[in-house]
Amino acid sequence: MRSGRPEAEPARTDLDTLLEKLGTEIDRPILELALTHRSYAHEAGGIPTNERLEFLGDSVLGLVATEFLFREHPEVAEGTLAKMRSATVSQRALAEVARDLELGDYIRLGRGELVTGGRDKDSILSDTVEAIIGAAYLLHGLETTRVMVEKLLAHLLRHALRLSAALDWKTSLQELAAVHGLPLPAYQVEGSGPDHDRTFFATATVGQFVAAGSGSSKKVAEHGAAEAVFEAITAAFGSDA
């Protein structure tokens, strides 16, 4: 929710503004359905919710993201592609897409969700993005919906490798090294300071690529170093910049 906006303010109804951001025409009744959270539907006497559209949109989103990553990363193994897809369509990632659209302002929520900040909850935002994708698919089919999804998720799709790598930098660095035929990563760690306040410094080496990291534990320091080497290798080989 944008700062200064009352938490219990009703949903915005200027749907043309939202449609312009989406870049796809969606009939008002089905768009309103896609924006209808179950909390609102319950208070309105049991009207339909966006949950069926969300179910459909989740599958369409998965297909579009999978196909895009498959085409754009022919050198990447299945396991890494799966991580990339998961990072791209995660609840957190989709919630950020929703915030860019100011989608929370348009979602029809019940009073309980309104006063507890429902307009900015990751779960509600991401579910609504999926519902809108489902609505677009019902109206226009796959190709038009693909264009919309790839536009909305452009930043996530371009940086999918890095997003997935951030889940576990050490494992991701090892996989990246294998993709490019580089040696396995090697780590050196040193600590300094008193036992109650030690700082660790790690160096990660993959062939000619060397970088350092630091942190309050060996694990944090190694992951920092692994991230830095991952970035160096990615820049050198020109993938997922």
Is the CB of residue 107 less than 8 Å from the CB of residue 128? yes
End-to-end CA distance of the chain: 31
Which residues have C-beta within 8 Å of that of residue 45, sequence separation ≥ 6? none
Q: Would residue 227 show up in a list of annotated catalytic residues for this protein?
A: no
Which residue out of 54, 113, 130, 175 is catalytically annotated?
130
- Tokens 């930098």 correspond to what residue? 169
Task: Catalytic residue, from 58, 127, 227, 240: name it.
Answer: 58
Q: Closest Cα to residue 50, out of 61, 65, 39?
A: 39
Helical packing angle, 91-100 and 122-140, nearest 10°: 80
Whether 130 is catalytic: yes
H or E segment at 81?
A: helix 78-88
Query: Mind telling me the catalytic residues?
Result: 58, 130
